[in-house]
């Protein structure tokens, strides 16, 4: 399953394959997908999610945050729960889900909610 998110002009594609989550963006021309280790993390963002890591160095904090993310994904029930988790997290950062592609099906455009 692939989820396409947009924030302004920035577009991110998240590929969910079982418990594996890969990311792609315009920097790779959407041709390469990379694991979470390829993403940039801000110290503030990590501390917002995991305040107990404040005494660690930036590198140690990043490693622990990635470890916790992977553990959380492993504990989720399946592809649909992972999809919901990723969608909730990215929408919390301002991204909007615009397209869902499942293997063997046509892509589904997601209607934006009117507020």
Reading the chain (115 residues) residue by residue, the pLDDT tens digits are 999 999 989 999 999 998 899 999 888 888 899 999 988 888 888 898 899 999 999 999 999 999 999 999 999 988 899 999 999 988 888 899 999 999 989 999 987 654 4
> What is the edge-to-edge ordering of all strands in the sheet holding 2-7?
20-25, 10-17, 2-7, 96-101, 108-109
Of the chain, the end-to-end C-alpha distance in Å amounts to 28
Q: For the whole model, what pTM was predicted?
A: 0.83
- 3-state DSSP assignment of residue 2: strand
Domain boundaries, the chain: 2-109
């Amino acid at each position: 399953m692939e989820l396409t998110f947009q924030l302004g002009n920035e577009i991110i594609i998240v590929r969910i394959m079982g418990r594996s989550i890969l990311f792609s963006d315009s920097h790779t021309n959407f041709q390469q997908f990379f694991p979470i280790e390829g993403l940039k993390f801000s110290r503030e963002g990590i501390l917002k999610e995991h305040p107990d890591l404040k005494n660690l160095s930036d590198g140690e904090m990043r490693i622990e945050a990635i470890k916790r993310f992977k553990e959380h994904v492993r504990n989720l029930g399946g592809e649909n729960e992972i999809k919901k988790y990723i969608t909730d997290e990215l929408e919390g950062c301002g991204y909007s889900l615009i397209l869902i592609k499942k293997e063997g099906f046509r892509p589904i455009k997601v209607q934006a909610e009117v507020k």
